[in-house]
Amino acid sequence: MNPTCDPSLKSWIPVSADSDFPIQNLPFGVFCRRSGEVAVGVAIGDQVLDLAVLHGAGHFSGTPVATDNVFARPTLNDFLACGRAAGSAVRAVVSSLLAEGNATLRDDTTLRNQTLVPQSDVEMLLPTQVGNYVDFYSSKEHATNVGSMFRDPSNPLLPNWVHIPVGYNGRASSVIVSGVDVRRPMGQTKADDADAPTYGPCRLLDFELEVGFITGSGNELGAQIPTDRAADHIAGMVLLNDWSARDIQKWEYVPLGPFLGKTFATSISPWLVTLDALEPFRVPGPQQDPQPLPYLQFSGDWAYDMQLEVWLQAADMSEPVRLTKTNFRYMYWNMLQQLAHMTVNGTNVLPGDLYGSGTVSGPTEDSRGSMLEICWKGTKPLTLPNGQQRKFIADGDTVIMRGWCQGDGYRIGFGELRSTVLSASE
């Protein structure tokens, strides 16, 4: 076991048992102080540890980032470009400094006050400058549900689905961080009984519960990343809400696939949870049948026992209500396969690129990852505690996503991914 994952580790910083950010987690993010200073930090309990200040104090000597303060930057990109080994080295230093019994930072009052800031006093920013964004479609349960609704329930999957991790290139410029509002998109839609399309606000706005991974060191154009080296190129994971305008998408997607119905917003959580922190929670994934082609085969367990939830709070509700609870371990295609398939044609990936898993749905009705599935294409509306009904997302609704891996007395969490829907700008 990686020593930074030891369940017995404790920090001299108080951390509650239900916190997403114990010393076993130590996710990376970009934060802005009230003074306007921006830096890379690590979450620990309800605090943020400023890595730029720590670097200036010489605490990362002997690591791959010793000579360049990559933490005094407005994104994680330069740090991620140093590779996964550099991230692991930094994580080890931080874990040691925060460990119970280590007085180096704890008893240095001046440095401690400079480096630690309450999370409530900072604004979390987009963790990376996203150069490229790819969204996959890798949950067999989700693909089966959608195929049953819109195609043949007895044969819901298209022939290629069990042979390749299906995906598409999305729009990086509209990737936003948790807390940024989402405006209902405008576009063309066409009713089934109409002769022509009309222009107006999306009426069938939906969330998609996903987990994203972010790449670290990339590859040269023309080179592939095989499955046995893919993990070395993955810096960590975030929660992801792939907002979808179902009615706009329905009209536009033939013949080239998703376009305006997807590109208006993609929300991600601000903390990048590393593969090191998630290592203890790797589990076997679903059996893949037929066996994938050799370039998609892999060894080891690469699914994760990660609990995922979506909550909804209408504008006049005092508390949110849970809509679904599922688990990331259900995903048919894993990250190694997705990255290997993405690069099999020689495409190059960059540090900070974002890859969405596709909607995470489970095998039961209460584990579906989108309103399209929860309300089954609008035929089974749900009733909220305030008496209102929902088939899709309404203006003023706040969608909250949460995810964590449960350890023995601690959890490795992502924090909340929260977005409120604003009315369309006509």
The catalytic residue positions are 142
Q: Is 396 left (phi over 0), alpha (psi -120 to 50) or beta?
A: left
**Type and span of the H or E element at 110:** helix 109-115
Q: Which among 263, 262, 209, 273 is positioned nearest to 238, based on CA atoms?
A: 273
Question: Do 272 and 237 touch, CB atoms closer than 8 A?
Answer: yes
Q: Which among 236, 214, 226 is positioned nearest to 304, based on CA atoms?
A: 236
Distances (CA, A) of 162 to 81, 180, 210: 33, 36, 19
- Contacts with 246 (C-beta within 8 Å, 6 or more apart), sequence order: 202, 204, 205, 206, 261, 372, 392
Report d(CA 399, CA 389) in Å as an integer: 15
Omega before residue 290 within 30° of 0, cis: yes
Helix (H, G, I), strand (E, B) or coil at 39: strand
Radius of gyration of the chain (CA): 22
Beta bridge partners, 201, equal 186
Question: Do 162 and 401 touch, CB atoms closer than 8 A?
Answer: no
**Type and span of the H or E element at 341:** helix 335-343
